[in-house]
Structure formats: C-alpha cells, structure tokens
Amino acid sequence: MMPEAEEDSISLLDLLTVLGREKWLFLGLPTLAVLIAVVVSLQLTPKFTAKAVLVIPSRTPSASSALADQLAGASGIGGFSGLSGGQGAMYAAMMESNTVRMDLARRFKLKEHYGKGHADFNDDDMLKAMKGHIKVTNDAKTSFISVEVEDEVPQFAAELANAHLEAMRDLLNRMSATEAEQRSHFFLQQIEAIEHRPLRDPQVQTGLMAGLIRQYEGARMDQARNAMVLHVVDLATAPERRSYPKRSLIVGISGLGGLFLGALLAFMRHAIRKSRRNPLTQDAWRSLGQAWRGK
C-alpha cells in the first residue's frame, strides 16, 4: 500500500499531465480572455470622480437662542451646543433631496448633459442619472459628509461636487429664515394678546412683555441674517486619474476567470475521452450519439 504522501504526489502529477495535454485550452482561453478584456476596456469611455467634504453644519448663535442660553445658564440648566452626530444622515438626505438636485440641474443644465442622444429624456430620467453619477455619504464617527461626482469631464465633476455645498447652504438658510419668521410671528401674537387682555398684576405683565419683546426682536434679527454655517473640509478639484474603467482589475478578473474555465474544460475533455475508451461505457456513448443523430 502506497504512503499517503506518495498518493497525493501521483494525483498532482496526473492533474498536471492532463493540463499539459490540454495546454492549448488551459492557457489559450485565459490569454484570449485577457486580450478581449484589454480591447473592451480601451473602448470604454473614461470617467473621473471629484470629491468634496464638509462637516455637519452647525447653527451660529442667534439672538433668541443666545437669550435662551443665558436664561438656562442662570437657572443652572446647560444650554444647547452643536449638533449631534446622528443628524448627519438627515443632512446627507437633504443634500440628495429633489429640491437640491433640481436646483443643481437647472444651474448646470444636467437634463441636456445626461440626456444626450435621448429625445424623450424627462426629469425623472435625469434624477435617476444624477443618482447614478452622484454619491453622498455620511460618516457618523467623524461627522463628515462627502459628495462624490463621477463624470467624463474632470472639471465639470469638481464644479458639480462643490456646487452641492452651495446648494445645501442656500437650502439651510431658507429653512432657517422660515423658522425665524415663524418664531417672530408667534411672539408677536403673544404680545398682541397681552395688550388686548391685560394681566391683573401690572408687574408680572411688564416683565412678561419685556421678555416677549426681546424674543420677538431676536427672531426679527435672525430673519435678517444667514444663521447656518457649513464647515468645508476639502473642496473638490479636477481629478487627474480616471476612476473608471479599472483596467487592471478588469484584465485580472478576466485572466483568472479564463484560467479557471480553461482548467475546467481541460478536465472535462480528459474525462470524456477516458470514458469513451472504457468498454463499460462505450455502448452508452454510442446510444447517446445515435439519439442526437435521430437514428
């Protein structure tokens, strides 16, 4: 009885012998696959990816919030400071909203840009195209939001990525102004209500009115200024290296796939030839041939 090591050695030699006999298939197929992959990758249009990075926006201290913080500090209650990292997902979603994207689409004429050669290219098609070319990600650990834009023109990709920051800033400022307007309207209603229905205690009414007037004036001040700040970490620049196609990856995968398929076909051919020479299966092969020839 042969030792186990010798049996393994003989088995390996048998495999290598089969591959040697079928070397035209084992080596030819991956070579052909690599050549085809090189030709195809050279025909693909190169694309470039530009990336801009910002920190989750924080609100600049408003007049009314500053007053609230002072009151909270005086009463021993901690004031509000900064935004929680969990809000990054919300801001990333806002940057991917149709409001922001339609604003960018009008500015950069993205319907014409992405719809070249498509006569019936509509707004829905454009938004789908933007989703495929623009990627917004939020890093919960660092509170960084990144915008990546892929395009055939490097400078266009960089400009569109940076424009996301401007569009986001405009949206946040509009939302902030709306919030301040709602607060000023609320405080004005409270002031008018007290004026029409005075309180019984003049001292309490005077103190309450003074507080409401300060809050109202603070809200009016907030309306007159931009209250949201974006902290830009990296502005996008025109990339010099393409991000697509990854030719080395395409060629490598094609070569490995061709090598695997070539080995598989080589062993299949060897097994079929061996089975045809076996007296026990020759009749079966003959019947199979006759069945397919219709005899």
204-216 pLDDT, tens digit each: 888 888 888 888 7
Phi, psi of 255 (to 5 degrees): -65, -45
* Annotated domain spans of the chain: 48-177+226-234
Interatomic CA distance for residues 21 and 16, integer angstroms: 9
Q: Which helix (H) or strand (E) holds 58?
A: strand 48-59
Tokens 């569009």 belong to 167
Q: Tell me if 10 sits within 8 A of 220, measured CB to CB.
A: no
Amino acid at 34: V
pLDDT in tens, 159-198: 999 999 888 888 877 777 777 677 777 878 888 888 888 8
Q: How confident is the model at residue 52 (pLDDT cuts 50, 70, 90)?
A: very high
**Cα dihedral angle (271, 272, 274, 280), rounded to 10 degrees?**
120
CATH of domain 48-177+226-234: 3.30.1890
